[in-house]
Each structure stands twice: as structure tokens, then as C-alpha cells.
Amino acid sequence: MDVDSFYQSKLTTPDQAVASIPAGSKLSMGMAMAEPPALLKALADRAEAGGIQDLKVYYFESNRIAGDTILRYELNDRISPYCMFISGVERALIKRGMQDGGRKLINYVPNNFHQTPRLLIDEIGIDTFICTVSLMDRHGYFSFGTGNDYSTKVARAAKRLIVEVNENMPRVNGAGAELHVSEVDAIVANNVPLLELPVRAPTREDEVIGRTIAGLVPNGACLQMGVGALPNLVCAELKGRNDLGIHTEALNPGLVDLIRAGVVTNRRKAIDRGKTVFTFAMGQKAMYDFLNDNPAVESAPVDYVNDPHIIAQNDNVISINATIQIDLTGACNSEHMLGHQYSASGGQLDFVRGAFASKGGKSIIAARSTAAKGKVSRIVARLDGPVTTPRIDSHHIVTEFGAVNLKGLSSTERALRLIELAHPEFHDGLREAAKQQHLI
């Protein structure tokens, strides 16, 4: 059978595709921009009609598509979310559950991002995988597009694989990034625009932090950073650098701008030389168009991209991440706020350790000095939640009041330098707390 006939034999409607998913299944889905809208709506409709019960959904980064369909409050008794990264959708559900007598609506699964393929395949045992893929090429291959992450490995390990083909999903090269039609159980076609990452205006503090971080980045550095206003600001400050490389968990528009400007060449990378490597991408249409069939950019599974031993093989890795709280010893809470899970560890610790193990590498963790309109200090005596990055791993810490390299500093030196990074209104209280803890 030729590939076009193969394709047609598997093409079906969203309702028919999800009808094959039995009650009690453990389902996983593509993350972020790779969530399949038509399949998720059909699955939600089936659950609403009472057609499926006890469905457990394991996933990393959700967006409003899942929030408007399978993650609706009304379906929580039939579809149980098991989330590995908390976003706005989950935060809204957590708040709703607290208002509803403390009802637990979200099950958080702690993880390091590079371990998620193994967790989903070996420990959890996913039986169904759904995601969005690109158009099929003449050889019968789809591309996972913006989402290689855990998707490429879990999709192939699942007993049931259903894909939603979307002409707007870019075709991205890379390890495991292509999927042959023969590997798929069912196909749904749905050509809709990919979701785009909202653009948030930076604050004055962000601008100062961005300039400080950029000052820590040498020529020839290999970059990792997240998405949002701060990473884009840092990228804008790096336009004067030469021969930068990219090996990053998330590919963002700021990094793409550096590639377009010729600042990123990837020539100095020891592995994947000449290639920009990422595991998932979030941005706007212009970025997705840039990725399409671009031989200079490759995606790879997260257990490769985020493996600290792989990260360390490139020299001068600069890892840039954000946090919620930093205590006086340098430990960081990057995931817990107001008594509940707010985000997740993600790949922060993966890159913190990988960057420091890199020759000349630096891990940079940044935060504005205050939250709640200046009422709360992010430099604290003790963390309010779990430790995401242990004090022994913290390297460079940056706020709008400066930067400190914690490596090699004593507990006393750390406390004094971190207090300097706090807003002046909190200095006295932090010094008193440091004395009570015998840090100074």
C-alpha cells in the first residue's frame, strides 16, 4: 500500500478516533502548542455525555485548549489531571477547588524534565498518546513540530497513538522528530492556527535584570533560557556578541532573533555543531514559520536536551532561569507560592547542574527583589515551599540590585551578599533573621 492510501485508511473523525480510548486509560498528550484541539474537544464531549470514566491524563505544559475542554471543572470527576508542570489553567483549577471546600482537582507529579519520558513510559505506563503533527510528506512522514520533548518517545511506546494533522504545525528536523504513517493508529485532520505566546511588557526591574544577565554572557557562549519578557530582553542585549550557540529546553522568539541577526552561529559547540537544538518551542507565527524546514534548527527528546551530562559537553553553557524565592543560604523555591504548587521544577535543576559542569559554564537564576507590588521580599529567611535548586547547586543569583556568584562563598558571605540583592526596605529584617539563624 502506498503512503497516501495508508493515510486515507487511517483518516477518521475526532469522535470516532477518541471512541477507541477505553475507560480507565492512562492518556498523555502533546504539550503547549502541540495539544490537539479537535481530539481534546471530542474527548471532552464524550466525557460530558458519560461515554468515558476514570480517564487519567498525564501532561507537562497545558494551554487554554485543554483548559476549555478536558480540564474543565465540570469534568473533573471523569477526567483526572496528573500534571507535571502547573500553568495558568491548573492554577485556576486549584483556586476553584479551594473555594469548593478544599476539593483537590489537580494531581501534581514531581519530576525533573529530562526524566519525564522514563516516568511516563516505565513508571506510569501510558497506554494512549495524542498530539498535533505537521502535514505528511511524500515519504509518509509527519513531524512533531514544536514538541519533541517527551512526545516522540511516549508516542512510540504507547499502545494507541492518535495524531491530529495541522498544516500550520512546522516541519522540524531532529532526532526522533519524524513519525511515519505506519506508526499511527488513527489520523484526524484539523487546520487551525497554532496558539501564540502572549507578549508581556517588561517592567523596569526586568530591564535592569536583563542587562545584568547579559553582562555575564561571553562571546562563544551556549545559551539556555525560558520564555517570556525577561529572556527576550536578555536576547536583545546580546546583539553585540559573536558566535553564540543554542542548546535549550525552550526555543523562544528572542533566541530566533539572535539566529536571524547572525549572532548565533553554533560554530563553537562541541556537540551538534552548527545546529540550534531545542526540545519544545513557544512563540508566535513568525517563529513557527522560521522553524519550518529549517536545516539549521533541530529538536531532540528532552532526555537528551536536558540531560546534565549532555549539557556539560558544550563549553561555556549559560543557563538562565527564574525563581520565586531565594533563602539566605542560596536555596531557591521556583515552584511553590501561597501554600500550593504554582509552577514546577521543570528543567531548572537539569540545566543548573549541566551548566556548572560545563567548562566555563554559568548557571544564572534571576528574580525581581519583591512581589505583591513591593510588599513581599523574594529574598527570604526561609523558603515557603520545596527546594527546587539546592543551595549547593546555586551559582549566580541576579535581582535588579545586582548579581552574586555564590560558588565558594561561606554561609556568612552568602547571607550578606544575598541581603544586598534584596530591596533596601527588607535589609534590616533579613539581617536580624540571619543573626537568629547564626548565619552572621
Lowest pLDDT segment from 41-50, 223-232, 283-292:
223-232
Instruction: Tell me the percentage of the chain whose pLDDT exceeds 90.
Output: 97
The secondary element (H helix, E strand) that includes residue 99 is helix 88-99
Query: Stretch 129-136: mean pLDDT, rounded?
Result: 99
In this predicted model, what pLDDT tens digit does every residue of 399-408 receive, in sequence order? 999 999 999 9
The identity of residue 98, as a single letter, is: M
Lowest pLDDT segment from 34-43, 182-191, 337-346:
337-346
- Where in the chain is CATH 3.40.1080.20? 204-436
CB 133 within 8 A of CB 145: yes
In this predicted model, what pLDDT tens digit does every residue of 51-81 receive, in sequence order? 999 999 999 999 999 999 999 999 999 999 9
- Where in the chain is CATH 3.40.1080.10? 3-189
Query: Stretch 101-109: mean pLDDT, rounded?
Result: 95
Contacts by 230-233, CB closer than 8 A, 24 or more apart: 230/202, 230/206, 230/322, 230/366, 231/255, 231/320, 232/202, 233/202, 233/206, 233/207, 233/209
Helix (H), strand (E) counts: the chain = 16, 25
In this predicted model, what pLDDT tens digit does every residue of 234-251 receive, in sequence order? 999 999 999 999 999 999
pLDDT at 397 (0 to 100): 99
| 3-189 CATH pick, 3.40.1080.10, 3.30.1280.10, 3.90.25.10, 3.50.50.60 | 3.40.1080.10
The secondary element (H helix, E strand) that includes residue 143 is strand 141-143
1 pLDDT higher than 80? no
Q: What residues act catalytically?
A: 249
In this predicted model, what pLDDT tens digit does every residue of 370-390 receive, in sequence order? 999 999 999 999 999 999 999
Query: Stretch 314-342: mean pLDDT, rounded?
Result: 97
CATH of domain 204-436: 3.40.1080.20
The secondary element (H helix, E strand) that includes residue 188 is strand 186-189
CB 258 within 8 A of CB 279: no
Alpha-carbon distance 31 to 344, whole Å? 15
